[in-house]
Chain A
Amino acid sequence: DGGITQSPKYLFRKEGQNVTLSCEQNLNHDAMYWYRQDPGQGLRLIYYSQIVNDFQKGDIAEGYSVSREKKESFPLTVTSAQKNPTAFYLCASSSRQGIETQYFGPGTRLLVL
């Protein structure tokens, strides 16, 4: 059963803490993306990676970091520098042939304690 998985579904962060959100895909897609979604708003691009060991900042990269050591995995770390981390985080992937058509995971909701 191919698809994109994100874990955990809910994540709680304490002040000053770094937390890492997992994103895995078994679609053999080259490109992966992280978006942030705030209530009643569209998706804003945090980081994206078009190939292993390479990634680019999106529109709102400050306070976040990523790695792309494997094709299947693109974890996102929300650092303590991100002062307003409460949001719904969405991971997506796309193939090289159809790079604009992004397929999304189920999302992780991050809440601050």
Chain B
Amino acid sequence: DAKTTQPPSMDCAEGRAANLPCNHSTISGNEYVYWYRQIHSQGPQYIIHGLKNNETNEMASLIITEDRKSSTLILPHATLRDTAVYYCIVRVASSNTGKLIFGQGTTLQVKP
């Protein structure tokens, strides 16, 4: 699975958009970009995934660059409850082990 690089921490004002970047320059053609988050020692929570196209769901948007070497998770209107560690994971969708490799992630602090 490709390695990812994320900034260790970011701040965001409540109500503003939070843009979390992720670099994955060694991503392969069949690897997806997944985002999970972990709110203070709770179980990780799936947010969104994408392969090539930009994706949007009720939680967030995922913007993937055309060369697929980087992506940005966007929380359009961050709330205090979005304070969490956000993990960008790159892997194939098909796997026997199902293992997710969580790096250090980005700690997002949403401030009032």
Q: Do A and B come from one complex?
A: no
**Residues in chain A within 8 A of chain B (CB atoms):** none
**Residues in chain B within 8 A of chain A (CB atoms):** none
